[in-house]
């Protein structure tokens, strides 16, 4: 499992770096840098003149994320050894800087997960978990900008296709839980940067069959992502 996770992270990181390098090499942002008098690469240790974060900036990121549930169950779901599969999907997020070093990020993504059990595949369910995080950005004037965040997650479970023995399994449609985050932005041009990010999100749903409770499924995924971003 650990080897598989490392392989996924390496694949995602390589993809993000190739995207960022292609955009930078294409010259799509050259005019923007030239008009702003962008600092040369040699000035990276003290880089602050054009790429710094400031209050009022918007950051928009597109990531590829690997969602890796850490499933826990109770009652009948535990007896059936119910688990949740991983998923790789795109993620879009928006950050508004309320201070040079402080931002608020809204994360948007959706995924579909298959549930397995000792009885076989139980079917799939859609998960829509918008997450709002308050972030602290370190080194906001530098080219390499780590950040940490914490906030709240709301999860909507939809398009429920779960069943056992030909009978539909009902689930709770809504969940609230905390979320924490750590990541880093690495600037390529004045406006373009690559990003690596990891989040832990707590979410759960209750399940029932014919009105009888089957227990609670805690999904609590680790979300690992890499991608590219733009500053506006």
Whichever domain contains 162, its CATH number is: 2.40.160.20
- pLDDT of 165 reads 83
- pLDDT one digit per residue (tens) for the chain, 232 residues: 444 444 554 554 454 444 444 444 444 433 344 434 444 444 444 344 567 899 999 999 999 999 999 999 999 999 999 999 999 999 999 999 999 999 999 999 999 999 999 989 999 999 999 999 999 999 999 999 999 999 999 999 999 999 988 899 999 999 999 999 999 999 999 999 999 999 999 999 999 999 899 999 999 999 999 999 999 9
Name the residue with tokens 């859609």: 126
Find the angle CA(168)-CA(75)-CA(212) to the nearest 5 degrees. 40
* Model confidence, pTM: 0.75
Name the residue with tokens 């940067």: 193
121, containing H or E segment: strand 120-128
- Count how many domains the chain has: 1
76: alpha, beta or left? (left if phi > 0; alpha if psi -120 to 50): alpha
Domain containing residue 172:
2-231
What is the spatial distance between Cα 150 and Cα 192, in angstroms, rounded to a whole number? 25
Token pair belonging to 99? 């201070």
- pLDDT of 59 reads 96
105-110 long-range CB contacts below 8 Å, 24 or more apart? 105/59, 105/132, 105/133, 105/135, 105/149, 105/151, 105/181, 106/130, 106/131, 106/132, 107/131, 107/132, 107/133, 107/199, 109/65
- pLDDT of 166 reads 85
């Amino acid at each position: 499992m650990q080897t598989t996770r490392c392989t996924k992270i390496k694949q995602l990181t390589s993809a993000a770096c190739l995207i960022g390098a292609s955009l930078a090499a294409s010259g799509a942002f050259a005019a923007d840098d030239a008009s702003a008098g962008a600092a040369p690469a040699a000035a990276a240790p003290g880089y602050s003149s054009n790429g710094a974060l400031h209050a009022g900036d918007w950051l928009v990121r597109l990531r590829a994320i690997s969602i890796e549930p850490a499933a826990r169950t109770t009652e009948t779901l535990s007896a059936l050894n119910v688990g949740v599969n991983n998923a790789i999907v795109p993620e879009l997020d928006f950050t508004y800087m309320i201070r040079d070093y402080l931002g608020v990020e809204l994360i948007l993504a959706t995924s579909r997960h298959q549930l397995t059990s000792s009885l076989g595949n139980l079917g799939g369910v859609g998960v829509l978990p918008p997450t709002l995080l308050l972030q602290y950005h370190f080194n906001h004037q530098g080219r390499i900008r780590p950040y940490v965040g914490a906030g709240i997650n709301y999860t909507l479970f939809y398009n429920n296709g779960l069943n056992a023995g030909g009978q539909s399994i009902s689930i709770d449609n809504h969940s609230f839980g905390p979320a924490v985050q750590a990541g880093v932005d690495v600037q390529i041009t004045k406006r373009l940067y690559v990003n690596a990010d990891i989040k832990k999100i707590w979410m759960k749903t209750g399940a029932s069959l014919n009105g009888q409770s089957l227990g609670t499924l805690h999904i609590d995924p680790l979300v690992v992502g890499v991608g590219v971003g733009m500053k506006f």
